[in-house]
Amino acid sequence: MKYFLGVDLGTSSLKIILGNENGELLGSTSSAFSIHSPQANFSEENPADWLQAFDQALAELTDQFPEIKTADLTLGFSGQMHSLVLIDQTGKVLRPAILWNDGRTTEEVQELRESVGEHLLIVEKNIPLEGFTLPKILWVQKHQPEIWKQVWKFMLPKDYLVYYLTGKVFTDPSDASGTIFLDSEKQCWDQVLLEKFGIRADQCPEVKPSTEIIGEMTTDLRQHFELSGKVELVMGGADNACGAFGTITDPQTQGLISVGTSGVVLVYENEKTLEALGKYHYFYSVIKDVHYKMGVTLSAGYSLDWFKNILAPDDSFASFTQAAENSPIGSQGLTFLPYLFGERSPYFDPTLNGALLGLRAHHKRNDLIRAVMEGITFSLRNVYENMGIGQSHLVERFRITGGVVKNPFWLQLFADVFQTELEVLSFDEGPAYGALLCGVAGRNDTEILKNWQKANQVKTIYKPNYKHFAEYQAAYNRFKRLSDSAKEQ
């Protein structure tokens, strides 16, 4: 029996899921680690914590499923995007990883906009933002030149994990495109940017396909984990790219909505019509020669969690959100703007503030809760409408993932607001599932791939109630008007 492991290195934990060649998902383990913020706007992690988390999660998995110790294993990887890892020639990590949600690079972003902003839009198809990798490299060059002089390679988080397991330095197109110095069409590092910013080509990891076997686990680590079978590794991809790969089965008609701490709307790009560039992210997928458009609401599920902790910290989410069902569409004129951390798409403004607008004496607890849920949903619709989706490529249905799938009321609200069918799949394992599928694809075994393509069927479909369209449209128009006004101030 062959086994497949999907490894997702997230921002707060590492998760491993296990499946077999029959397309059966067997189990999962996870291990948490902490973000460090040594000063305002800094967000860092120690890569050693990632390795410890992997060791712990894999050890727990082999304890639960001892049969995998003697079997052939294929590991696929997914990871948080953009975060910067720097190592020297000996493999030593030179400084803590600078994370995707680190905000120290505002000056570097402004420098990029002024000096190469047009080039980035034409070649990389993105605008510079604090979260991306290139501004982080410029920050290290400027503020820690003694560290930059020692850099042998830069890596993304999952790439560092692969390096630990194999001793090889690679990345994949989906993660590389999130650095914003990978040529979007040629799939190679942008020589113009490398030369301009003093980054040597040999400091960049070699770009390998997401579904290609790139090596085996080192003998020492196989012995450490008591693995006697062959253990091969597939690069996999960035977290959202893997999330889409594990969720979307028809790129022509389906899109992805993910509602976790942040919210994501993702659509594969097949027309090569890049309207409204700069209002969304344009990255490479784990599918060969296919890109995707993606927009992000920074504080999606976080907004609801934040509000619940203020209003009812001891309530369950189920009982807390159930109260919203007793408020009418539009929350009796209340509008919530979920900009608790500023905003990514489509405003790209870290100074935007969250707000609860239209509050009057007649409003009740139910109205406030519904307003927050509607505001998050409206924000993601605003993201989608600014993604330059042509009329010939409108999404026919969305597949939705994340904590929202546990809430039927909110799922119906999404269907009504987007006026599109929503599909919930049988199991929701996030990017780890896409990483596992990358591993499956890497085996080039048609039968095993067919087994997994049939594994995760649609469990529930939420159809929009067109009787509610006018009411939701009015509430959405109010949200959009207030959001645009907040951006202009």
Name the residues annotated as catalytic: 239
Residue pair 68/3 in contact (Cβ under 8 Å)? The answer is yes
Q: Whose CA is closest to 218, among 160, 168, 170, 165?
A: 165
CA-based nearest residue to 96, from 131, 140, 146, 159: 140
Cα–Cα distance measured from residue 38 to residue 40, given in angstroms and rounded to the nearest whole number:
7
Please name the residues in contact with 155: beta carbons below 8 A apart, sequence gap of 6 or more.
85, 86, 87, 163, 169, 171, 205
Which residues, in sequence order, are CB contacts of 375 under 8 Å at separation 6+? 303, 335, 336, 337, 338, 479
| Residue 221 token pair | 């680590």
CB atoms within 10 A of CB 78: 36
Let me know if 411 is exposed, middle or buried by CB neighbors in 10 A (0-12, 13-18, 19+): buried
Q: Which two tokens stand for residue 3?
A: 């086994």
| CA dist., res. 217 & res. 486, Å (int) | 52
SS3 428: coil
| Identity at 201, one-letter amino acid code | A
d(CA 268, CA 248): 9
Structure tokens belonging to residue 486:
């907040």
